[in-house]
């Protein structure tokens, strides 16, 4: 499965031999995340994701029934999933909570028990303005961010940190999971502040190279490198640069002359 990881260690030896690979990516539960954490370093991984989360920014115009359904859809993932409501309208919190109670009770098992447990650690935040709603969302950097407001695109444009963004009442997170096509492996736990979801870029490498044909034209860079190397106490580096200098004699040659 990964360089340095014996196949017999996978799943207690019950998995047949898997060829080594360079990168392991994709979604999964806490066991998948634990496995990724073990092989990380032996091979590349996309991220250590989970628990799953959704944050809905809404105002008083939002459809409370729809918002409740989206919160429950996230809560049924796992008992440690988080469903968060952020709004500038205190009245909609009660309406959403009412729909959540009725809708979650109608779920089949084990979804109902899972969602109820997750909802115990989910919460709502009432803000003084939509700007404050956006600020809280950016601080949390949720895996899934839904915006259901009268001016949803305008609010969405204000948001900076998230895994996946779903704009407007018609754009449910579940459609991103199964229908519309955006990636389903997204950063969680605030990591959306510095990284994004799984994409083609996970399979690309940035490789740098340089070539210098004109030794005269690069002398300013050579001189700078000599100075910088000596400031860092790396004399060998400085002398390697001096070997390419047109104006400075390498120190090891000067030492031979002095002796």
- Residues serving a catalytic function are 143-144
CA angle 88, 175, 57 (to 5 degrees): 10
Residue pair 83/119 in contact by the 8 Å Cβ criterion: yes
User: What span, in angstroms and rounded, lies between the C-alpha atoms of 132 and 27?
Assistant: 32
Which tokens in the block code for residue 205? 């490498």
CA 93/CA 90 separation, integer angstroms = 6
With CA atoms as reference, report the closest residue to 188 among 58, 115, 80, 72: 80
According to DSSP, the residues that pair with 171 across neighbouring strands are none
The string of DSSP letters for 157-169 reads HH----SEEEEST
DSSP at 140: H
DSSP-derived secondary structure letter, 78: -
∠ CA 185-190-196, rounded to 5°: 40
Backbone angles phi, psi at 141, to 5 degrees: 50, 65
Enumerate the β-bridge partners of residue 57.
86, 147
Structure tokens at 106: 């109608």
Query: Please, are residues 184 and 173 in contact by the beta-carbon 8 Å criterion?
Result: no
The two three-digit tokens of residue 134, written as one number: 């956006």
Q: Which residues contact 117 (CB under 8 A, 6 or more apart)?
A: 79
């Amino acid at each position: 499965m990964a360089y340095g990881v014996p196949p017999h260690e996978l799943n207690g030896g019950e998995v047949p031999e898997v060829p080594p690979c360079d990168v392991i990516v994709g979604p999964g539960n806490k066991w998948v995340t634990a496995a990724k954490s073990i092989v990380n370093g032996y091979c590349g991984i996309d991220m250590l994701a989970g628990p799953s989360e959704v944050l809905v920014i809404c105002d008083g115009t939002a459809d409370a029934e729809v918002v409740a359904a989206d919160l429950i859809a996230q809560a049924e993932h796992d008992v440690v999933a988080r469903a968060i409501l952020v709004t500038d309208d205190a009245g909609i919190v009660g309406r959403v909570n009412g729909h959540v109670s009725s809708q979650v009770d109608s779920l089949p098992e084990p979804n109902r028990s899972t969602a109820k447990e997750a909802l115990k650690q989910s919460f709502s935040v009432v803000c003084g303005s939509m700007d404050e709603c956006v600020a809280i969302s950016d601080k949390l950097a949720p895996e899934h961010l839904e915006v259901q407001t009268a001016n949803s695109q305008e609010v969405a444009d204000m948001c900076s940190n998230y895994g996946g963004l779903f704009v407007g009442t018609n754009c449910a997170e579940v459609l991103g999971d199964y229908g519309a096509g955006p990636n389903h492996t997204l950063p969680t736990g605030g990591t959306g502040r510095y990284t994004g979801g799984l994409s083609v870029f996970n399979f690309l490498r940035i490789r740098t190279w340089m070539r210098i044909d004109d030794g005269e034209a690069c002398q300013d860079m050579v001189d700078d490198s000599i100075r910088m190397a000596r400031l860092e106490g790396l004399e060998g580096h400085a002398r390697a640069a001096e070997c390419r200098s047109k104006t400075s004699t390498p120190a090891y040659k000067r030492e031979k002359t002095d002796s």
